[in-house]
Chain A
Amino acid sequence: MFDTMDLLPGEECVSTRSDNRKLIEEGWFRDFGDGLALAGGQCLACGGIFFPEKPVCPNCFDPARKKVPLSRKGKLHTFALSHMGPGGIPTPFVIGFVELPEGIKLFSLITQCEPWDKVLKVGMDVEMVIETIRRDEEGNEIVGYKFRPVPEGNP
């Protein structure tokens, strides 16, 4: 699973890939054939999609479900510049909620957006990238999803 991360657009840290890089949550990601994507759980009974996957469908309590890829692109619902936060993430950093076409709101770090207060607009198009989120106490790089503004000429 880990090797596929090299293939992703927006991956910043390919060259430093080593044993001390860890996915923030293995169950959040899967390679569905074109690189690592966020993996939601889709209920086979009602079709509802949830992220992260739930143990049963929160709508109909049915345990039968399959993993489905979530869209890589979404809309920036809102954002803020945080000057404080959990250890391991250098401050300040930009956070946001991103709305995916599946109707899912994701909390996310927002990246590649400097100067943030000029670049970012509520409602703009953003896309998912895989980047280092933070370092843990043992010095491991914790890798996960972030969103960035969709680069020009790449709608």
Chain B
Amino acid sequence: MREVAIVGVGGMRFGKYADRSIRALGEEACINAIRDAGMKPRDIQLAYAGNLAQWEWGQGLLIGHSVLRELGLTKIPISRVENGCATGSCAFREAWYKVATGACDTALAFGVEQMTVTGSEKILNVFTGRQHAERDGDMGNSAPGLFALMARRHMAEFGTTREQIAMVAVKNRRYGALNPEAQLTDPVTLEEVLNARMICDPLTLPQCCPRGDGAAAVVLSAAGIARRFNSAPVSVAASVQVSGSYSDAGSYTFFDTDVRAAEAAYRMAGLGPGDIDLAEVHDCFSVAELVHYEDLGFCRKGEGGRFVEEGQSGIGGKTPVNTSGGLLSKGHVIGATGISQIVELVRQLRGQAGKRQVEGARVALQHNGGGFIHTDTASCFIHILKN
């Protein structure tokens, strides 16, 4: 397979946009990315759209075609993909794969979601699947529940504290306040996080990501032609996708998907965790980020609590994580989340991240987990980017 570069990125501020069409959200991010690439729509040969669900109303089916038609991007192959909370990363990986294998020389990947048009209960029921035969959702389980269960086991096994877990939210909200595209831009203190409304003990409200509306987009090209479009292309050094094993074995303190995907991604890039200058990881809940530190090899198993407490996952630390503010600040705009992580990392690698810039960043890792069945995420994507 040949080398692929990211030549354009486009984001928008995530938030509540019930008064706009989902199509308009997608258009905004795609226009930003195509402009950033210095391209015209006719330069793009293929496109993938990530969109999880048509939550209540609005165009869900053929979302890629209806967004891109407005920009004059017609006739080319366009597909929509879905892969749970990693839907955006799936769109990116499919576009990468088509360029890497020579099926096309340029491609667009975007993700869009509009979730504030519906209520929390509808979202919960879509996620936990009343209509499925899967046993857990019907019996009181939920996304916060799954992560609270992991938090408790981590606390019991490794002595991780409530305070350490809450520090993830404090850190991410601090960076969210520096990101003009984040939904929540007010920092929170440790006391505020610990004393906030309990959602699923030990996780309080600021430790659970909000939902939202928005879109994000990237443009890819074969590395050999990247400089035609952009003077600072970012190379895709690894792209890995795995699915869950749903094992009943072992301690419920890690994601088997993470471990397998990380191993494959480091092998593909010829790099190790020590080479990663910064990362965007799937912090849907505070404890998830802490576990990802361990699974991705940023620290040893059981030491995630100390890693965040010592500031090792902050800017200036060993491996800064979620300088965008993460899902905890941006909101989890499902179809857009994975692409939005890549947008942040490309800006960092270009030195365009403003007040949250990680100085001298050369290698970045993106991690996005999708869905949950029993004891494991259903899908996991890891991308390693280099400038």
Chain A residues engaging chain B, CB cutoff 8 angstroms: 24-25, 28, 52, 77-87, 89, 93, 95-97, 99, 103-105, 107-109, 117, 122-123, 133-134, 144
Query: What are 14 A-B pairs with beta-carbon distances under 8 A?
Result: A25-B135, A77-B153, A78-B152, A78-B156, A82-B148, A85-B145, A86-B137, A86-B142, A87-B121, A97-B153, A105-B248, A105-B375, A109-B140, A123-B156
Q: Name the CB-closest residue of B to A80.
A: B148
Contacts of B202 in A (CB 8 A): 80
Assuming A87-B121, A122-B153, is B201 touching A80 (CB within 8 A)? yes
A80–B155 CA distance with the chains assembled, in angstroms: 12
A86–B137 CA distance with the chains assembled, in angstroms: 8
Contacts of B144 in A (CB 8 A): 82, 84
Report yes or no: B375 in contact with A82, Cβ–Cβ below 8 A: no
Report yes or no: B156 in contact with A133, Cβ–Cβ below 8 A: no
Q: How far is the CB of B351 from chain A (nearest CB, A)?
A: 42
Report yes or no: B199 in contact with A84, Cβ–Cβ below 8 A: yes
Report yes or no: B199 in contact with A107, Cβ–Cβ below 8 A: no
A107–B151 CA distance with the chains assembled, in angstroms: 15
Question: Residues 141-165 of chain B: 1 if any A CB is under 8 Å from the residue's CB, otherwise 0?
Answer: 1101100111111001100000000
A-B contacts besides A95-B140, A107-B135, 9 pairs, CB < 8 Å: A52-B135, A77-B153, A79-B152, A82-B144, A82-B145, A82-B201, A93-B140, A105-B374, A133-B139
Report yes or no: A82 in contact with B200, Cβ–Cβ below 8 A: yes
Which one of B53-61, B123-131, B291-299, B339-347 is at the A interface?
B123-131
A104–B141 CA distance with the chains assembled, in angstroms: 17
Contacts of A87 in B (CB 8 A): 121
Report yes or no: A95 in contact with B141, Cβ–Cβ below 8 A: yes
Report yes or no: A78 in contact with B121, Cβ–Cβ below 8 A: no
Q: Does B252 belong to the interface (CB within 8 Å)?
A: yes
Q: How far is the CB of A131 from chain B (nearest CB, A)?
A: 11
Q: Name the CB-closest residue of A to B203.
A: A80
Chain B residues engaging chain A, CB cutoff 8 angstroms: 121, 124-125, 128, 130, 133, 135-142, 144-145, 148-153, 156-157, 197-202, 248-249, 251-252, 374-375
Contacts of B142 in A (CB 8 A): 82, 84-86
Contacts of B198 in A (CB 8 A): 81, 83
A79–B141 CA distance with the chains assembled, in angstroms: 11
A25–B140 CA distance with the chains assembled, in angstroms: 15
Q: Name the CB-closest residue of A to B201.
A: A81
Report yes or no: A80 in contact with B151, Cβ–Cβ below 8 A: yes
Contacts of A117 in B (CB 8 A): 201
Q: How far is the CB of B58 from chain A (nearest CB, A)?
A: 25
Contacts of A28 in B (CB 8 A): 135
- From A24, A89, A103, A122, contact of B156 by CB (8 A): A122
A51–B187 CA distance with the chains assembled, in angstroms: 45
Report yes or no: A80 in contact with B145, Cβ–Cβ below 8 A: yes
A80–B157 CA distance with the chains assembled, in angstroms: 15
Q: How far is the CB of A132 from chain B (nearest CB, A)?
A: 12
Report yes or no: A107 in contact with B249, Cβ–Cβ below 8 A: no
Report yes or no: A77 in contact with B124, Cβ–Cβ below 8 A: no
Report yes or no: A86 in contact with B199, Cβ–Cβ below 8 A: no
- From B140, B152, B374, contact of A85 by CB (8 A): B140
Contacts of A93 in B (CB 8 A): 140
Report yes or no: B248 in contact with A108, Cβ–Cβ below 8 A: no
Report yes or no: A107 in contact with B139, Cβ–Cβ below 8 A: yes
Report yes or no: B149 in contact with A80, Cβ–Cβ below 8 A: yes
A24–B145 CA distance with the chains assembled, in angstroms: 20
A16–B197 CA distance with the chains assembled, in angstroms: 36
Q: Name the CB-closest residue of A to B156.
A: A122
A86–B202 CA distance with the chains assembled, in angstroms: 19
Contacts of A78 in B (CB 8 A): 149-150, 152-153, 156, 252
A148–B145 CA distance with the chains assembled, in angstroms: 18
Assuming A85-B145, A86-B137, is B252 touching A77 (CB within 8 A)? yes
Report yes or no: A133 in contact with B375, Cβ–Cβ below 8 A: no
Contacts of B139 in A (CB 8 A): 24, 95, 107-109, 133, 144
A5–B150 CA distance with the chains assembled, in angstroms: 33
A107–B139 CA distance with the chains assembled, in angstroms: 8
Q: How far is the CB of B66 from chain A (nearest CB, A)?
A: 33
Contacts of B248 in A (CB 8 A): 99, 103-105
- From A24, A79, A109, A144, contact of B149 by CB (8 A): A79
A80–B285 CA distance with the chains assembled, in angstroms: 14
Contacts of B374 in A (CB 8 A): 105, 107
A44–B214 CA distance with the chains assembled, in angstroms: 51
A134–B130 CA distance with the chains assembled, in angstroms: 12
Q: Name the CB-closest residue of B to A105.
A: B248
